Structure 1
Amino acid sequence: MNSKVCLLLLAVVALSKASYDYAPKYSAFKYDAAKFVAGGCGPGWHQYNNRCYWFSRQKLNWYTASMKCAAMGGYLVSIDQSHENTYVRHMLSVYGVRGGSWLGLNDILRPNKHRWCWGFVAKPCHKFDWYSNEPVYHEHGDYNCGMFKRSYKYHWHVDSCGQKNHYVCEKPLLYLKSSFFSVQLVSKASYDYAPKYSAFKYDAAKFVAGGCGPGWHQYNNRCYSFSRQKLNWYTTSMKCAAMGGYLVSIDQSHENTYVRHMLSVYGVRGGSWLGLNDILRPNKHRWCWGFVAKPCHKFDWYSNEPVYHEHGDYNCGMFKRSYKYHWHVDSCGQKNHYVCEKPLGKPCVCVY
């Protein structure tokens, strides 16, 4: 093989931690209504300008749809401009998608505050295509997620996040420049768009900011934030993403020992979420780490764990206090504390 080609391949691997090698391998969805245009996007994706789009025929709730998109290297579609919105609506019409399809639009972090944002991309939201009188706010239920609704000609509509709908994924187009030695990855999910949250405060332990920012603890080349707020697993994933990180994913035993020690120092009651889950393949004994999509080292389960349940969404892992913070399976909808992680040296989120 040409040495320049080898170098190019190595560069691609080095730049992509969330490799497709780790992503679950799903057969491409097939439609007769439209022709697939792969381009630089890969099979089953459509290219429009410098973006790639995936139109599902599977129905999932908003949270699981987000994970499906993440597993394929993208996220639920986030609309920048009206022409992009027109394109997506046109494609949904071509496919004849019934009911509707999820987009990234949501106000999960600040429900009913009229502050909508785009999924895990956490960028400002341009609210230009709501259907007449939308968004409608509900006192009860989790009506915090946006969809393209077919009966509204695919204009935006608010639906319950737990409702199962089709979904549209988006990812950046991969550009290979003419030079064999350079690869340009265009990333829409910029840290510049991260919402501003006040740092969590504790009296139990001293904050070590280092290169991590206020409220974070540095350990080796990673940063950790220990919450006192209780949220379900899905919402904690969004909280961590909004702060430039993700639910903690354990690489080695010494990292696990450190996190367990800090939870003990804080005296966290009940337990804390970690990124461990098998949401994409429930009860298949295939656990992975949140949206990082890397191989899972299952070395700290408590005795007889993980326990599998026939009913309920027992697909998420936590550090359980009564088990001395060893790992335990809990319902993803249960509210627990959580631990966020991010790389050292990433841009810090401003606080107010």
Structure 2
Amino acid sequence: MDQRDPKEPMALDEEELMTSGNRLSSKDFGFQKSHGFKNFPVSKVPRSQGLEPSKQEEIQQILTQLKAGIALLCHPCPWGWRSFQGNCYFFSNSQLNWHDSVTACEEVEAQLVVIESAEEQNFLQVQASRFNRLTWMGLSDLKHEGTWHWVDGSPLLPSFMKYWNEGEPNSSGEEDCAEFRGKGWNDSKCSLSKFWICKKPTTSCSSA
């Protein structure tokens, strides 16, 4: 019968190393488990009481290694999101109406995308047009016809008017919500189902 030496240290179960943040999964938001620990070398940890100084040093070394491994898993954006100039963006693979798109972003502590610079507009326009998708942004004139505001309450600046496609917005048939269409923006019926983009700031990886 194979007997284990009681002094022999036991290996940490890989499951014990997984953090709750790496177990996120979502049908709509494409989160995935991290595989950062799969190839991470871990020494054996003794479980006996009254450890000798040498064993305490070994545990301290292991904890240092684990801390370094966790740091490698730190990402400024959630899995499935893209980073650009200090923000994270989620490009949906399913379609919702404009109001439900707003809610979907809020549920992951984000906003239906608010565009704040020419660089950001170019980045988003390229992504939205890559697959020729009609995609909601967080812009509408629902509160007052012809006066466009972002979901955070800020007004559409005059310098951004150039991004509307020719002849848009035309408010034809109660088109009160803005979308990416082709090489620019278009106003469309808020009740229609389209892809959407969520935006939130990147997170800092703690070095503590």
On whether the aligned pair clears a TM of 0.5, the verdict is yes
Secondary structure of 2:168's counterpart equals: coil
Describe the SS at the equivalent of 2:190: coil
Pick aligned residue for 1:237 from 71, 80, 102: 102
Matched, 1:289 2:147: no
Structure 1 or 2: more helix by fraction: 2
RMSD, aligned CA: 2.5
Runs of 4 or more above 2 Å deviation: 195-201
SS in 2 for 1:256: helix
Matching residue of 1:38: none
Write out per-residue CA displacement over residues 182-206 of structure 1, whole angstroms, 9 at most, x where no aligned residue.
Answer: xxxxxxxxxxxxx9734545xxxxx
The offset of 1:210, in angstroms, is 3.7
Aligned: 1:275 with 2:144: no
What is the rounded CA distance, in whole Å, between the counterparts of 1:237 and 1:344 in structure 2?
Answer: 19
String of CA shifts for 1:49-78, please: whole Å, max 9, x gaps: xxxxxxxxxxxxxxxxxxxxxxxxxxxxxx
CA contact (8 A) 2:28 2:93 kept: no
| Corresponding residue of 2:37 | none
Say if 1:199 and 1:214, in contact at 8 Å, map to a contact too. Answer: no
CA–CA separation in structure 2 for the residues paired with 1:198 and 1:230:
13
Residue ranges of structure 1 left out of the alignment (5+ in a row): 1-194, 202-208, 348-352
2:177 aligned partner: 316
Task: State the identity %.
Answer: 26
**Mapping of residues 124-135 of structure 1, within 5 Å:** none
CA contact (8 A) 2:28 2:92 kept: no
What is the Cα deviation at residue 294 of structure 1?
Answer: 1.2
Q: Are 1:223 and 1:343, in contact at CA under 8 Å, matched by a contact in 2?
A: yes
Aligned to 1:333: 191
Is contact 1:231–1:334 with CA below 8 Å preserved after alignment? yes
Matches for 1:45-60 after TM superposition, within 5 Å:
none
CA distance in 2, matches of 1:212, 1:238: 20
- Structure 1 segment 34-45 matched on structure 2, within 5 A: none
Change (3 A) 1:211 1:198: farther
2:48 aligned partner: none
Classify the secondary structure of the residue corresponding to 1:223: strand
Q: CA deviation at 1:295?
A: 2.4
SS in 1 for 2:155: coil
Gaps in structure 2 of 5+ consecutive residues: 1-23, 31-73
| Amino acid across the alignment from 2:156 | C
Amino acid at match of 1:211: P
Q: Displacement, 1:276?
A: 0.9
**Alignment partners' CA distance in 2, 1:278 and 1:346:** 35
Alpha carbons 1:236, 1:338 under 8 Å: kept: yes
Q: What does the per-residue CA deviation read over 1:13-62, in whole Å, with 9 as the maximum and x for residues that have no partner?
A: xxxxxxxxxxxxxxxxxxxxxxxxxxxxxxxxxxxxxxxxxxxxxxxxxx
Q: Label 1:240 to 1:305 Cα distance change in 2 as closer, same or farther (>3 A).
A: same
> Does the 8 A contact of 1:199 with 1:215 survive in 2?
no
Alignment partners' CA distance in 2, 1:225 and 1:308: 28
- Which of 1 and 2 has greater Rg? 2
After superposition, the C-alpha distances for 1:199-235 in whole angstroms (9 at most, x for unaligned) are 545xxxxxxx941111111101111000111110000
1:307 and 2:170 are equivalent in the alignment: yes
Q: Distance in 1 between matches of 2:28 and 2:190?
A: 24
TM-score by length of 2: 0.60
Q: Does 1:225 align with 2:85?
A: no
SS at 2:186 equivalent:
strand
Say which structure, 1 or 2, has more relative contact order (CA 8 Å, 6+ apart).
2
1:344 counterpart (170, 191, 202): 202
Shift of 1:247: 0.7
Instruction: Indicate the residue corresponding to 2:39 in structure 1.
Output: none
